[in-house]
Chain A
Amino acid sequence: DTGVSQNPRHKITKRGQNVTFRCDPISEHNRLYWYRQTLGQGPEFLTYFQNEAQLEKSRLLSDRFSAERPKGSFSTLEIQRTEQGDSAMYLCASSSDRGSNQPQHFGDGTRLSIL
């Protein structure tokens, strides 16, 4: 169990640029989640994958956001035309699908700063 890995850890970019983050879940975990955490707040759910299928998206996930999990393993989260309000910590989590509500294991996150 190597844990959930997220890259990069930090990303600084200018407003209007596109950014892409990667998440590698724990290898045997079929479920993968993305959350966003702004300063002083708890994480907010963005989207959920069961294997390669994206089964739920939050209203927080505007058209500028897209997430993929093409082979049911790693996932990417892309933000197009970044805005100041996108500055946040983006957290990825994974869990087993053996039984309901298995605990989610979180990565250390990608901190995005928009200049």
Chain B
Amino acid sequence: AQSVTQLGSHVSVSEGALVLLRCNYSSSVPPYLFWYVQYPNQGLQLLLKYTTGATLVKGINGFEAEFKKSETSFHLTKPSAHMSDAAEYFCAVSRGGTSYGKLTFGQGTILTVHP
């Protein structure tokens, strides 16, 4: 079975400050990992994904995440927050190497950006 834990249901930062959203996963097989963003009353948009290869993954809108197998973590960062980053962020895991990718999501982290 797979699971995802997102530490902190709410994170608040000032505009221009570092954004750090934490994600830890549990998986009995090598995982594929994803970060999605959700704006109010909308679906989820893929920010970035890790499958294999380079452990530092760059995504859209200046976000990046690093896969750390020893820590079972996949934290999301952005050097400088923008007001438009305010949204809810979800970390998700799927079984690596399977023929399709059923996603297991964390509970989400709401990011608030203050002027």
Tell me the A residues contacting B by CB distance below 8 Å.
4, 6, 31, 33, 35, 40-45, 48, 50, 55-56, 91, 93, 95, 97, 100-109, 111
Contact = CB atoms under 8 A, between A and B. Distances in A.
28 contacts: A4-B43, A33-B103, A40-B108, A42-B4, A42-B90, A42-B107, A43-B103, A44-B105, A48-B102, A93-B43, A95-B100, A95-B101, A97-B99, A100-B100, A101-B32, A101-B51, A101-B94, A101-B96, A101-B100, A101-B101, A103-B34, A103-B49, A105-B46, A106-B43, A106-B45, A109-B42, A109-B43, A111-B41
A100 B99 contact: yes
Interface of B: 4, 9, 32, 34, 36, 41-46, 49, 51, 90, 92, 94, 96-108
4 tightest Cβ-Cβ pairs between the two chains A and B = A42-B105, A106-B43, A101-B101, A106-B44
Contacts, number: 74
A33 B41 CA distance: 19
A101 B98 contact: yes
Contacts of A33: 102-103
